[in-house]
Amino acid sequence: MGHDHAAAPVAPDASFRAFRRLNDPDLAAHAASRGRVDRRALVAVQGDRLEDKLLRALVERRALPAKEVWESFEVAARARSAMKRTTVVDLCCGHGLAGLLLAAFERTIESLWLVDERRPGNHERVMAAVAEVAPWTAAKVRWLEAPLKRALPLLPTGAGILAVHACGVRSDRAVDAAIAGGGPLVVVPCCYEGTAQSAPAALRESLGVVDAADIDRTYRLERAGFSVRWSSLPRAVTPMNRVILASPQAREEIEDVG
């Protein structure tokens, strides 16, 4: 789940959805912090919602960088309406927080596959924080530690595919997985190095690689029978802030909550 902090924003700005208090400019500064999430984050708490309880548990363990925490909550807020599946796969998941949040919020999710080359050392702290507040989540989790090329053929058919900052062509592989498996897709593309190879040269030259790559991905999905929408994350969290949401049902509308 890596990304280029110095890059220019790729999509329009968006409001915070999970923790609306961060829309106050005086509070939003913490959302961009690269340091560990700490008690400063608690200014965003709005009461005793599940989101608030999960944030408190993550703060207590200083489990992750603040940016990763806020970003995971914002991705989950946008992905929930698309991921109405019993199985969800979090590809290139890193610590897996975005997928874990979906599994905590959506009781219909029975199985969560966390897929990455290796399990990060402090994943257990993240898992412990989520399990403390949402104990039903732990039994859903299955780790698959494997390179993406080896993991893709093993993924369950029909699963929802989540990919947050899957760098470069890894976002294309997430698109491949959704098309092959026939399940919905939520991807936050990142870095774009080596992408847009199949996009028309006129798009690359006129719009740049970033937009050309995501337009090409959108056309690929629509040709495969998906309905596609673009959304975005708050720029305060990440400049790599475009969200592509795709549903395999051509007539099914995906709510754009960006």
CA distance between the termini of the chain: 21
What's residue 25's pLDDT? 87
What's residue 215's pLDDT? 94
Question: 144: which 2 tokens?
Answer: 């698959």
Alpha-carbon gap, residue 33 to 48, rounded angstroms: 24
What's residue 1's pLDDT? 53
Which structural domains are found in the chain, ordered by start?
20-247 (3.40.50.150)
What's residue 7's pLDDT? 65
**Low-confidence residues of the chain, pLDDT below 70?**
1-7, 250-258
Q: At what angle do helices 123-133 and 97-105 cross, to 10 degrees?
A: 10
Inter-CA distances, 79 with 90, 105, 108, 184, 187, Å: 12, 11, 14, 10, 9
Predicted model pTM: 0.92
Nearest to 58 by CA among 122, 131, 132, 129: 129
What's residue 254's pLDDT? 45
What's residue 26's pLDDT? 82
Contact 163, 187 (CB under 8 A): yes
Contact 105, 133 (CB under 8 A): no
What's residue 103's pLDDT? 97
Query: Under 8 Å CB-to-CB from 162, ≥6 apart: which residues?
Result: 75, 79, 83, 88, 89, 90, 91, 93, 98, 99, 102, 186, 187
- Pairing of the two strands 227-232 and 242-247: antiparallel
